[in-house]
Amino acid sequence: MPLFGSTFSPKKTPPRKCASLSNLHLLDRSIREIELGLEYGTPTMNLTGQSLKFEKGQWVAESGSFTGDRREMQRLRKRNQQLEEENNLLRLKVDILLDMLTETTAESHLIEKELEELKNHTRRRK
């Protein structure tokens, strides 16, 4: 016997009407693209007066729209290359320093071990 009256019994939902009254699904693909605007083209954007378009996974400057100085771009490329070379040199130096530290640490452990053995050996003689 329910505590607050009868048990829950939801009303039955009415049957649904036709899913789509549009006849666009009956049209040809090309007509649907025209009607629904599915032809997007390549994405484009404008940054600081330079128009770029997205082609084959990269942003490319559209022809004739580049207003920047070619010498500036060459200077930036050269600077970028210099920084990459400097970065590689610094990484090499860090690797060499780590190797030297490892070698020095291993030598100090060996010396400490030999010293400990000598101390034990002299204690046994006494």
- 91/42 same-domain check: no
Write out pLDDT tens, residues 10-55.
788 887 776 666 666 677 777 777 777 766 677 888 877 778 888 8
What letter would DSSP give residue 6? S
Range of the domain at 47: 25-64
- Establish how many alpha carbons lie within 13 A of residue 110's alpha carbon, considering only the half-sphere containing its beta carbon: 6
Cα 112 to its chain centre, rounded Å, is 48
Confirm whether 8 is domain-assigned: no
How far apart are alpha carbons 53 and 42 in whole angstroms?
7
- 105/71 same-domain check: yes
Confirm whether 16 is domain-assigned: no
Confirm whether 113 is domain-assigned: yes
Confirm whether 117 is domain-assigned: yes
- 71/97 same-domain check: yes
How many domains does the chain contain in total? 2
φ, ψ of residue 103 in degrees (nearest 5) = -65, -45
- 72/48 same-domain check: no
For the entire predicted model, the pTM comes to 0.43
Q: Average of pLDDT values for 111-123?
A: 93
Contact between 44 and 62 under an 8 Å Cβ cutoff? The reply is yes
pLDDT at 64: 56
- 105/119 same-domain check: yes
- 92/48 same-domain check: no
pLDDT at 25: 66
Confirm whether 1 is domain-assigned: no
How far apart are alpha carbons 121 and 58 in whole angstroms?
72
φ, ψ of residue 9 in degrees (nearest 5) = -140, 100
| Confidence class for position 65, pLDDT limits 50, 70, 90 | very low
- 36/47 same-domain check: yes
Confirm whether 85 is domain-assigned: yes
pLDDT at 95: 97
Contact between 62 and 53 under an 8 Å Cβ cutoff? The reply is yes
pLDDT at 123: 86
In the predicted structure, residue 82 carries a pLDDT above the cut 90: yes
- 43/74 same-domain check: no
pLDDT at 9: 75
Higher pLDDT, 97 or 10: 97
pLDDT at 78: 95
pLDDT at 21: 62
